[in-house]
Amino acid sequence: DLAGYDEGNKYGFNLRPTSTNGKKFGMRDYQRACVEVFHAGGGNEGGSGVVVLPCGAGKTIVGIGVMQIVGAETLILVTNTLSIRQWRNEILDKTDIPPEDIGEYSGEVKEIRPITIATYNILTHRKKKGGDFTHFHLFSANNWGLIVYDEVHLLPAPVFRMTSELQSKRRLGLTATLVREDGLEEDVFSLIGPKKYDVPWKELESKSWIAEAKCKEIRVNMEDDLRLKYSIADDREKFRLASENPEKMKAIDLIMEKHSESHLLVIGQYINQLEEISKKFNIPLITG
């Protein structure tokens, strides 16, 4: 990065003073600070790095702000097609970018436009195991001036490798957490760039930018046979064994009974466990 950045194809746009539904729009002070710290006046000391913001704090708005200040054609990488639609809607709502300048590159659609939003899954697709990644050409299909990695903590390992060849491009990582199941947190910094801004959720909560959260930890027992498996497992397997501990079912049952008049959302990482919870408590399951 000390050698400077490839500026890419120029692409300028403006942020709207009011959104398309007529509401006044302006970046919040911490969002603007994220943009300015990342950009660093356009100098080589800026232009690559990670912004950490709590859920609901407007990471997409920060991404749009960086796109606007960089003023170049942009590739945005997201986790799924729902995120593509969310990014597209926010861009159309908060900027004067016309719809025809925003492309979707996913399993369903293959468009390359000045602003292109693609999924990680399509980039890691290959026709056969061990074969070439079919769509890695997207990185070089346009002279991008900025690459945005949404939910950068979920960046797949193959995209890590491709990112190592993009060090001349400005790179912005957005996330609410830098914890990775595979322990590759340091790789995020080495390939995307250092952490540029990190706003504690308590700070935003105290200023009413995000809803107040009350967090409670409930610890559950581990049966002897499971504890034995846990004691000899590697770190990754330990995480899974603890996550899928059957004793959690009793805790969920008690919580649902205590808050029977409230709307409840159970979030988990492993599909099998969620399917079991869905079946046991007769509640709908959303995955994908």
Domain ranges for the chain, please list them. Answer: 29-206, 224-281
Task: Please give the C-alpha separations between residue 246 and each of 183, 229, 249, 284, in angstroms, as whole numbers.
Answer: 25, 14, 6, 20
Q: What is the pLDDT of residues 198-242, one digit of tens each?
A: 888 888 888 888 888 788 999 999 999 999 999 999 999 999 999
Confidence of residue 127 (pLDDT cuts 50, 70, 90): low
Question: Are 174 and 148 a contacting pair, CB within 8 Å?
Answer: yes
163 vs 2: which has the higher pLDDT: 163
Q: What is the pLDDT of residues 141-168, one digit of tens each?
A: 778 999 999 998 877 666 656 665 666 7
pLDDT-above-90 percentage for the chain: 58
Question: Are 61 and 31 a contacting pair, CB within 8 Å?
Answer: yes
Neighbours of 40 (CB within 10 A): 14
User: What's the whole-number mean pLDDT along residues 9-37?
Assistant: 94
pLDDT at 183: 64
pTM over 0.85: no
Confidence of residue 4 (pLDDT cuts 50, 70, 90): confident
pLDDT at 185: 64
Tell me the sheet residues that pair with 10.
72
Question: Are 212 and 205 a contacting pair, CB within 8 Å?
Answer: yes
pLDDT at 12: 96
pLDDT at 191: 78
Tell me the sheet residues that pair with 103.
116
- Asked if the model's pLDDT at residue 139 lies above 90, the reply is no
User: What's the whole-number mean pLDDT along residues 130-147?
Assistant: 74
In this structure, the dihedral spanned by the alpha carbons of residues 205, 207, 210 and 214, taken in order and rounded to 10 degrees, is 30
- Nearest 5 degrees, angle CA 55-CA 95-CA 14? 120
Neighbours of 175 (CB within 10 A): 22
pLDDT at 1: 47
For residue 232, give every residue at least 6 positions away whose Cβ sits within 8 Å of its Cβ, in sequence order, or none: none
Q: Where are the beta strands (DSSP E) in the chain?
A: 48-52, 74-78, 102-105, 115-119, 146-150, 170-175, 195-198
Q: Output the six-digit token pair for 194.
A: 């250092």
- Asked if the model's pLDDT at residue 182 lies above 80, the reply is no
Q: Output the six-digit token pair for 72.
A: 């170049």
- Which of 54-63, 130-139, 167-176, 247-256 has the least mean pLDDT? 130-139
pLDDT at 274: 94
pLDDT at 244: 93
In this structure, whether the domain defined by 29-206 belongs to CATH 3.40.50.300 is answered with yes
Q: Is 71 helix (H, G, I), strand (E, B) or coil?
A: coil
Q: Is 59 helix (H, G, I), strand (E, B) or coil?
A: helix
pLDDT at 45: 83
Q: Is 254 helix (H, G, I), strand (E, B) or coil?
A: helix
pLDDT at 251: 95
Query: Most confidently modeled of 87-101, 118-132, 143-157, 165-179?
Result: 87-101
- Asked if the model's pLDDT at residue 33 lies above 90, the reply is yes
Question: Are 65 and 34 a contacting pair, CB within 8 Å?
Answer: yes
Helix (H) or strand (E) holding 202: helix 201-206
- Asked if the model's pLDDT at residue 123 lies above 80, the reply is no
Query: Amino acid identity, residue 180?
Result: R
pLDDT-above-70 percentage for the chain: 85
Across the beta sheet with 146-150, the strand order is: 102-105, 115-119, 74-78, 146-150, 170-175, 48-52, 195-198
- Asked if the model's pLDDT at residue 2 lies above 60, the reply is no
